[in-house]
Amino acid sequence: MTKRFFVTGTDTEVGKTFTTQALLSALQARHTGCTVNGFKPLAAGAELIDGQWQNEDGIALQQASSSALNYSLVNPEVYPQAIAPHIAATLCQRPIDESNIDAALVQICECSDWLLVEGAGGWHVPFNAKRCFSDWVVAHQLPVILVVGVRLGCLSHALLTAQAIRASGLPLVGWIANHLSEPTEVSHDNVGYLKEAIDAPLLGVLPYSPGTVPAELAMYLDVCALD
**pLDDT tier at 29, thresholds 50, 70, 90:** very high
pLDDT tens per residue across span 157-178: 999 999 999 999 999 999 999 9
Q: Of residues 3, 16, 40, 130, which has the active-site annotation?
A: 40
Burial class of residue 132, CB neighbours in 10 A (0-12, 13-18, 19+): middle
- How much is the pLDDT for 149? 98
- How much is the pLDDT for 100? 98
pLDDT tens per residue across span 109-136: 999 999 999 999 999 999 999 999 999 9
Average pLDDT over residues 125-154: 97
CA dist., res. 121 & res. 147, Å (int): 11
Report whether 141 contacts 3 (CB < 8 A): no
Report whether 136 contacts 127 (CB < 8 A): yes
CATH number of 60's domain: 3.40.50.300
Report whether 168 contacts 182 (CB < 8 A): no
Range of the domain at 36: 3-226
Task: For residue 40, indicate whether it is catalytic.
Answer: yes
pLDDT tens per residue across span 47-80: 999 999 999 999 999 999 999 999 999 999 999 9
- How much is the pLDDT for 193? 98
- How much is the pLDDT for 26? 98
Report whether 216 contacts 171 (CB < 8 A): no
**pLDDT tier at 139, thresholds 50, 70, 90:** very high
pLDDT tens per residue across span 199-223: 999 999 999 999 999 999 999 999 9
Overall number of domains in the chain: 1
- How much is the pLDDT for 16? 97
**pLDDT tier at 86, thresholds 50, 70, 90:** very high
